[in-house]
Structure 1
Amino acid sequence: MIRVLIADDEPLIRAGITMILTSADDIEVVAEAANGREAVELAQRHRVDVALLDVQMPVLDGLAALDELSRTAPSVRVLIVTTFGARENVLRALRHGGAGFLLKDSAPVELIGAVRAAAAGQAYLSPLATRHVANTLAAGAGAGAAGRGEEARRRIALLSEREREVLALLGEGLSNADAGRRIHMSEATVKSYVSRILAKLECENRVQAALMARDAGLSD
């Protein structure tokens, strides 16, 4: 059972997230917090596996709480869940040990999937967060961009035409569902393609694949 803490200063938001997560038979919400300081204390007290933290909270905001949990309870996997998708928040969350970043308007199935991924030790980024990270890293590419482009094109040559098409959509930061609608493919089929693409390209996550697509010129 995955033990989860939810931290948000809005009771209705906490209740909604709790309702979604407890609909999954492998997730248990063991604590709720209204601010970051309370979240840190409860995460430690209840031996939480995954903590969902809002960015804007009183006393201690979500990113500061993430910093503290990274130092004092490194086994807790932290997902930043917020309405604020600012690029600097995404990057700071990842730099300071966050397991992922998603927005509050994400579909319930995405929220449950993110918690399961975090508990399994995997990184999870919403499509918007993927786009932010890819854009930021691409903007700072500098002199090594040509060499990376050549290497990316060499590796992408291993993909089928359909796999390259799906990879290009990852480079745009599209979710599996949105990519499927774009190319008239089911979400489950896109997910299978993504898994094969990551394996062939030896990428650990969608962000790395998105960057490779950009380096190769598949995505703007």
Structure 2
Amino acid sequence: MIRAALVDDATVIRGALAGMLREIEVVVAVSTAEELIARRLEVDVVVLDLHLVNRTQPDALQGVAAVQALVEAGYAVCVYSQEERRWVLAACIAAGARGVVSKAEPLDVAEQAFAEVAAGGSVVPAPVAGLIEVLVRRRSITLLGERQRQVLAGRARGLTYAEMAQQLHLSESTLRGYWHELIGTVSEHLQHTAPADIERALGLAPGDLLDAWPRSRS
């Protein structure tokens, strides 16, 4: 059984999600990343909401800062949020999150994403893969091999591993391996890239990423 920790400021989510997952045991559900880190519990995956500040915890870590703190504490993080801005979600990948899944997805899709991250895999939605593809196309990211570029293009267009396996004549496990390596490479690259460089590559206004982009851990 996969052991998970849930970090969400919504009491209803903390109370309900544990009973709705079939293959994942939520061993702890807390409202802040700081509380989980202080407990030093060993879990396979942390399911993290990005928006944790509210009236009762105005100073809580949230967003990319919460992702980064949990990753630095040694946790595998899967973001589970209503956040839709793809550059914010890409910033979570840059901060070390291994997965991103929307709260709008069906529960079985979300649970599969949590399990994928727990197993050491990577889960990135098509809009974020599309953003990464833009950075590759505009030569902001130049470290990917040809197979990784092919997998990125497929994921950016919403193709499943099975569909890509038919097109590329490779096994699904091989494609998952390329994808996992790709996300690790992209995350490492983005951690050490100045926000201004990303803004120029994406056509954003100067300063748009300052509040979202993680600080370098170097």
TM-score range, shorter-chain basis? Answer: 0.5 to 0.7
Q: Superposed, which structure 2 residues align to 1:119-138 within 5 Å?
A: 119-138=118-137
CA shift in 2, pair 1:40/1:196, >3 Å: same
In the aligned structure 2, how far is the partner of 1:85 from the partner of 1:100? 14
In the aligned structure 1, how far is the partner of 2:26 from the partner of 2:130? 30
Instruction: Single out whichever of 78-87 and 33-42 deviates more from structure 2.
Output: 33-42
In the aligned structure 2, how far is the partner of 1:66 from the partner of 1:5? 13
In the aligned structure 2, how far is the partner of 1:167 from the partner of 1:130? 7
Q: Residue 32 of structure 1 aligns to a residue in which SS?
A: strand
State the Cα distance separating 1:70 from its structure 2 match: 2.2
- Contact kept, 8 Å, 1:85 with 1:128, in 2: the verdict is no
Q: Superposed, which structure 2 residues align to 1:81-120 within 5 Å?
A: 81-120=80-119
User: Structure 1 residue 170 and structure 2 residue 126: aligned?
Assistant: no
Q: Which residue of 2 aligns with 1:179?
A: none
Unmatched 5+ stretches in structure 2: 54-59, 184-218
Q: Residue 199 of structure 1 aligns to a residue in which SS?
A: helix
User: Structure 1 residue 10 and structure 2 residue 10: aligned?
Assistant: yes
Q: Residue 15 of structure 1 aligns to a residue in which SS?
A: helix
Structure 1 or 2: more helix by fraction: 1
- Contact kept, 8 Å, 1:9 with 1:35, in 2: the verdict is yes
Q: AA paired with 1:204?
A: W
Q: Which residue of 2 aligns with 1:41?
A: 38
User: Structure 1 residue 30 and structure 2 residue 27: aligned?
Assistant: yes
In the aligned structure 2, how far is the partner of 1:19 from the partner of 1:67? 28
Q: AA paired with 2:62?
A: D
- Contact kept, 8 Å, 1:5 with 1:52, in 2: the verdict is yes
In the aligned structure 2, how far is the partner of 1:54 from the partner of 1:202? 27
Query: Which fold has the larger relative contact order, with Cα–Cα distance below 8 Å and residues 6 or more apart in sequence?
Result: 2
CA deviation digits over 1:148-168, x for unaligned, max 9?
Answer: 9xx84xx69xxxxxxx9x986
Unmatched 5+ stretches in structure 1: 157-163, 177-187, 209-220
In the aligned structure 1, how far is the partner of 2:114 from the partner of 2:35? 20
- Note the aligned Cα RMSD (angstroms): 3.6
Q: Superposed, which structure 2 residues align to 1:184-203 within 5 Å?
A: 190=163, 193=166, 196=171, 199=174, 203=178
Q: Superposed, which structure 2 residues align to 1:138-217 within 5 Å?
A: 138-141=137-140, 152=146, 170-172=155-157, 174=158, 176=160, 190=163, 193=166, 196=171, 199=174, 203-205=178-180
Q: How many residue pairs are counted as aligned between the two chains?
A: 175
CA shift in 2, pair 1:103/1:175, >3 Å: farther
TM-score by length of 2: 0.64
User: Structure 1 residue 66 and structure 2 residue 67: aligned?
Assistant: yes
Q: Residue 68 of structure 1 aligns to a residue in which SS?
A: helix
In the aligned structure 1, how far is the partner of 2:3 from the partner of 2:176? 33
In the aligned structure 2, how far is the partner of 1:80 from the partner of 1:192? 27
Which of the pair has more CA radius of gyration? 1
CA shift in 2, pair 1:139/1:82, >3 Å: farther
